[in-house]
Amino acid sequence: MSFANLGLSEAIVRAVTERGYTTPTPIQAQAIPAVLSGGDLLAGAQTGTGKTAGFVLPILQRLSQEPRPAAAHGKAPIRALVLTPTRELAAQVEESVREYGKHLRLHSMVMFGGVNINPQMQKLRGQIDILVATPGRLLDHVQQKTVDLAHVEILVLDEADRMLDMGFIRDIKKILALLPKKRQNLLFSATFSDEIKALADGLLDKPALIEVARRNATADTVAQKVYPVDRDKKRQLLTHLIQEKQWFQVLVFTRTKHGANRLAEQLLKDGITAMAIHGNKSQAARTRALAEFKTGKLQVLVATDIAARGIDITELPHVVNYELPNVPEDYVHRIGRTGRAGCEGEAVSLVCVDEHKFLADIERLIKRKLPREVVPGFEPDPNARPEPIQLRSQEHRPGGGRGHGQAGSRTGSQPAGRPGSKPALGGGRSGPAGPKPAAAKPSSMHRSGGRNR
């Protein structure tokens, strides 16, 4: 199987070859012909499967074959619209569009919140064939009448489950109402809740169904281990492991933004180059941290779950759960960052007595018990008593924007079960979904709190 066999043009195959890909991944092998055929698509695939090229390549092909409609009212017609939940994912998707489309004469743009809107307005006056956007900021442009969505031929909802988790459903519906009725719709989601199914039912017309193996914790390329340790020894243990094992490129997860900052500062004091990325950091700071991490200049990147979504680092050798996530599915997402594309990866978790319940939830989800290894000198106190875990400074989580008090509502020691936790595609629901705080909020409130505008 080659990219040329899938019906892609020479210019696209050349760009892909220059990127170093020789064989399409399973999602690409299935999605590319399906999208080229012009029909709708429902794809179950998460980050790491090559899904981005799975939709970007055939979109480039389709748009490059068809004439561009004439500009109306001085605004260039947007021909393909890709919606993503986070700024990072939007930036990476658009980067892929540019890279794979570098031998074509198509123009793309990325649009997200948290940055000055004026340069975006300026750019929208030029020619834009493919727009990659987060929903909130796109609606800002709609309101300002600086974007024309009346000519969209292809719509992609990327990581649709995350978009719903983050409370973007109202924004998505508003955007759908602005698009032409006749268009091609592609929906990508790692999980399939009833809510996603309802969205797909309303959106897709006789879609092709594609499902690729869920990246999960049983991936045998990822070695997983638990280091039991006392809560106040975690930082020393992490430094010890990094130095002893000579780890480079370590992605470390904390539960909170505050915890990420503090840990990065402490690691720096230990002589380990580290930076924290999370939603409070400027886009420029995040981009810089990621670039330095990728080149190896930065040894450790400390991230929260939300900030890490969409981070594309291939062949990441080490993922550390400095704190276990209170949402077991996040563990699977986290360790999915390592051991990609057949490379060996290692995912270790530093677990203190407070987190035993989280660990049990994770092991139940992945259906296996993780091996424990006590590091000499870091033996946990057998008499330690668990303390409630503070989730107060947690980043924007499912169902709400900043300022909803939603993170606060999840504060406390009840560890498991977030609103809207999703079963895997094909998996049964484990129970009724919890309440969705943001869905009940007026949209204006929700949008004023959105972090991706």
Interacting residues with ligand AMP (CB under 6 A): 21, 23-25, 28, 47-53, 312, 314, 341
Rounded CA-CA distance 127/261 in Å is 40
Q: Taking the complex as a whole, how short is the minimal distance between the CB of residue 316 and ligand AMP, in angstroms?
A: 10
Closer CB to ligand AMP, 342 or 428, in the complex: 342
CB of 279 closer than 8 Å to CB of 345: no
Residue 110, strand partner residues: 132
Closer CB to ligand AMP, 32 or 242, in the complex: 32
Q: If we measure between CA atoms, which residue out of 353, 388, 392 comes closest to residue 258?
A: 392
Closer CB to ligand AMP, 6 or 302, in the complex: 6
Closer CB to ligand AMP, 17 or 122, in the complex: 17
Rounded CA-CA distance 151/153 in Å is 6
CB-based burial label for 440 (10 Å; 0-12, 13-18, 19+)? exposed
Closer CB to ligand AMP, 53 or 252, in the complex: 53
Q: Taking the complex as a whole, how short is the minimal distance between the CB of residue 173 and ligand AMP, in angstroms?
A: 26
Q: Taking the complex as a whole, how short is the minimal distance between the CB of residue 21 and ligand AMP, in angstroms?
A: 4
Tokens standing for 31? 């999605």
How crowded is residue 406: how many other Cβ atoms within 10 Å of its Cβ? 21
Q: H or E stretch including 152?
A: none
Closer CB to ligand AMP, 5 or 314, in the complex: 314
Rounded CA-CA distance 317/3 in Å is 28
Give the per-residue SS3 of 222-240: EEEEEEECCHHHHHHHHHH
Rounded CA-CA distance 193/73 in Å is 41
